[in-house]
Structure 1
Amino acid sequence: MSDPILTSPLSSQLKAHTHAIHEQLDHAIMTAGMFSDRPGYQNFVLVQYRFHRDLNALYGDPALARIVPDLPARNRFAQLVEDMADLDIPPPEATESPVAHDPSEAMGWLYVAEGSKLGAGILTRLAEKLGFGASFGARHLQPDPAGRSRSWSAFQEAIDRAGLDPDRCVIGAESGFTRVIDYLGSVTSARA
């Protein structure tokens, strides 16, 4: 009898294999008080900026855009640059991106970023309570033009039919979640 996870669509495999680390990240964000005050939110934006800076080149990669045709338009890095300026956060020193150039692994990293847009609906409401929104400080939390659910479904469908290596995708997604957790740990330890 075959393993149902291995015979399911790639997006389902990614969800199953990264469930625990995804829960760990969600819990860490909510318990870090990142939406309790302006300094906490500034730390959240800094984490987002660092992670999306790591991914910025992937959104312009022609090979990846053949898999997800609207990939360049999905990039939120420019909005994060504006949000950083709104919040008077100096950009951190640039580091080398840890993202692999293997298309399957790179798409795993993008799975983390694109999936986070679903949860951003809740985070948008929390940011609004602090006075941040679509035109100041929380641009990067706004939905794609197609809407959160439709955009996510289109991304899932694209990766499901792309013939990517599931194991490499899982490695990329796990690495992406770990990277965000590491960035989160660096800002929360500095705040303590």
Structure 2
Amino acid sequence: MMKEGIDTLTFAKRLKYATRVNHDSVDSLVMQAEPFANADRYGQFLRLQHVFHLSMAPLYQQASLQALFPGLAQLGNVAAVESDLRNLGLSTEVDTELLASITNAYQAIGWLYCCEGSNMGAAFLYKETQKLQFDAGHGAKHLAAHPEGRAAHWRNFVAQLDALTLTQEQEALAIQGAKEAFAFYKKTLTHFF
């Protein structure tokens, strides 16, 4: 895509374009790990998800980010992941060395983009959990659709992203943050699998 073409895209589409390779490599790695082959592998997947969502949790409570994304405080997924872990009889304790620390607010936007975007892909993952007899009520709560529906929820988040007024430097930091989030997820996946 030519530079002029990228500049005419919305911010959310520029984020998607800039991170498409990172996103695809995460998808590929998740499938290679076969997290739904059996309940034990799914348990490892839950541990991975727990580390990622626990790393994200402070962002959902940050006042500056809540101002940019109304309703953000209600979107965090840690409690649901921990509920799923307990359903499988697994500990919710985490080695804090595994957690990411996101301190730059603009990079945090990129991390949020990855986390909220993963809810769209979770539709496929959720179907896979049902083969293991898990669902929203037991073991796969964190993968269940948002109450307003996955697509409506994502459209709302994208609209908030596109409404941001960022400088080129701030946007570059958001893209960097998204790439860091994908890299962190891959590193954590490799740790557990």
TM-score, normalization: structure 2?
Answer: 0.92
Does the residue aligned with 2:97 lie in a helix, a strand or coil? coil
Structure 1 equivalent of residue 113 of structure 2 = 111
> For residues 26-175 of structure 1, what are the structure 2 equivalents within 5 Å?
26-90=27-91, 91-95=93-97, 97-164=99-166, 165-175=170-180
Cα drift, residue 97 of structure 1:
4.6
State the one-letter code of the partner of 1:182. K
- 1:185 paired with 2:184, answer no
State the one-letter code of the partner of 1:169. A
User: Sequence identity of aligned pairs in percent?
Assistant: 29
Structure 2: runs of 5 or more not aligned: none
- How far apart, CA to CA, are the structure 2 residues paired with 1:178 and 1:88? 29
Q: Is the 8 A contact 1:99 1:109 kept in 2?
A: no
Structure 1: runs of 5 or more not aligned: none
Cα drift, residue 135 of structure 1:
1.1
Structure 1 equivalent of residue 9 of structure 2 = 8
Cα drift, residue 96 of structure 1:
7.4
RMSD after superposition: 1.5
- How far apart, CA to CA, are the structure 1 residues paired with 2:49 and 2:103? 21
State the one-letter code of the partner of 1:186. H
Cα drift, residue 156 of structure 1:
0.8
What do residues 95-126 of structure 1 show as CA deviations (whole Å, max 9, x unaligned)?
Answer: 37534332221010011110000011111110
What do residues 38-84 of structure 1 show as CA deviations (whole Å, max 9, x unaligned)?
Answer: 11111111111000000101111111111110111111111011111
- Of the structure 1 ranges 163-172 and 12-21, higher mean CA displacement relative to structure 2 is found in 163-172
State the one-letter code of the partner of 2:146. D
- How far apart, CA to CA, are the structure 1 residues paired with 2:101 and 2:4? 29
Q: Is the 8 A contact 1:38 1:130 kept in 2?
A: yes
- How far apart, CA to CA, are the structure 2 residues paired with 1:131 and 1:106? 35
Count of aligned positions? 188
State the one-letter code of the partner of 1:135. G
Does the residue aligned with 2:186 lie in a helix, a strand or coil? helix
